[in-house]
Each structure stands twice: as structure tokens, then as C-alpha cells.
Amino acid sequence: MLSKDEALARLSSHPLPANPWVYATDEAIIIKAEYTDTIERLLRWVPKTRWSARQRCWIVPLGGLELVRSVLPELSRLAEAMQDTPCAPEADPDGSPGQITDEQARKLFRDCARKLYGSDWQRETARALGRDEGTLACWLIGEGVVEAAPEQLLWEMLALMRQRVQDIGASADALAVRIGPRQ
């Protein structure tokens, strides 16, 4: 475990990546996520880590910085999965087809993946696309470069969604044949 001063020095030289769910203050590391056993197991090695029901977040002493850093993609994935998901990817009213920013690409990718796989969307999407989950997670939180251009990832997501539609349609047709006409 690091001392508070050591953790602050490390944060000064190597801050946590920008993330809406996990960030550091001068006193602690805050994880904006509901209570789950999974997060508790990830953080159990950091003494005095606690979940605040009043603030609806996990509070990790600064001494646990390196542990949080080591599980950051998983913490981000879990925290994001707990957020309300929109019914469909939000359209950008000013966006023209083919012209999206990296941030918009990440949001589109996340929204579509949530629709396909629910709460475990990040892991399942990485598997379905044959991508490295950690690298994909880093791209999704805006840190680092992913194995392919954002446009390529979106085309792969589109193909994955279209395949899922075909699979569901075929299953529905098979069910309809099996149960016969409605009486």
C-alpha cells in the first residue's frame, strides 16, 4: 500500500485517465457505481475501502491507487453497465453520415454493444469481434489506441448486429414452424 503522499505524487506524474465513473480526489479514489459483490471482490485488498449508500459510490483510500489502476478497465465496464441505457443509439442532429468524432464513435459502439449483450456487453463484444478486451476497454474510456480505426470497429459492430438479426429471425421462423399456426 502506498502512503497518501506517495499516491498523490504518482497521480501527479501519471494521473488516472479521464473517466466519468472512476476518478481521484485529494482524499480518495471515487468509483461511481452501485454496490455489487464483484466490485467488492476487486477492491477487497485495499483496507478501509467502503461503499457509501448516501453518495452511491465506492470510496477507496489513495493508498489503493495501483490496485485501482490494475483493475480500471473492469471497474469502468461494471460502472458503465449500471448506467441507464438508451433505447437506441442517439442520433447526432448535426452529424452527417460518415463524419463522426472518436467520442461519438465510442458512444455509438457502447450503445450498440449494450443492445446486443446487456450488462456484460464489453466482454461479450470483445469476444464476438475477436478483439482484446483490455485494449477495447482502453479505447472506450478514451485512453490509448485500439487495434483498428474507430470506423472499422463500427463496421464490425454493424456486421455483428446484422448477424444477430438474422439469427433471431431464423430462430423465430423455426419456432413458428414448430408450434404451428395460431388458433
How confident is the model over 41-82, as pLDDT tens digits?
999 999 999 999 888 899 999 999 999 999 998 898 888 877
User: What pLDDT shows up at residue 69?
Assistant: 92
- Residue that has been written with the C-alpha cell 433505447 in this structure: 87
Q: What are phi and psi of 61, to 5 degrees?
A: -55, 150
Q: What is the pLDDT of residues 86-118, one digit of tens each?
A: 444 444 445 555 678 888 888 899 889 888 887
Domain ranges of the chain: 4-81, 102-179
139 has a pLDDT exceeding 80: yes
**Are 92 and 100 a contacting pair, CB within 8 Å?**
yes
Single out the residue of 96, 106, 182, 173 nearest to residue 138, CA to CA: 106
Mean pLDDT of the chain: 85
**CA 54 and chain centroid, separation:** 24
Residue 2: pLDDT band with limits 50, 70, 90:
very high
Cα–Cα distance for residue pair 136/154, rounded to 1 Å: 12
User: What pLDDT shows up at residue 145?
Assistant: 67
User: What pLDDT shows up at residue 100?
Assistant: 84
- Sheet arrangement for strand 57-61: 22-24, 28-31, 57-61, 50-52
**Are 166 and 158 a contacting pair, CB within 8 Å?**
no
Cα–Cα distance for residue pair 177/83, rounded to 1 Å: 39
Q: pTM above 0.75?
A: no
6 has a pLDDT exceeding 90: yes
Torsion of CA 123, 125, 130, 134, to 10 degrees: -40
Cα–Cα distance for residue pair 18/15, rounded to 1 Å: 9
144 has a pLDDT exceeding 80: no
Q: What is the pLDDT of residues 111-124, one digit of tens each?
A: 898 888 876 788 88
The residues that bridge with 78 in the sheet, in sequence order, are: none
Residue 27: pLDDT band with limits 50, 70, 90:
very high
Residue 154: pLDDT band with limits 50, 70, 90:
very high
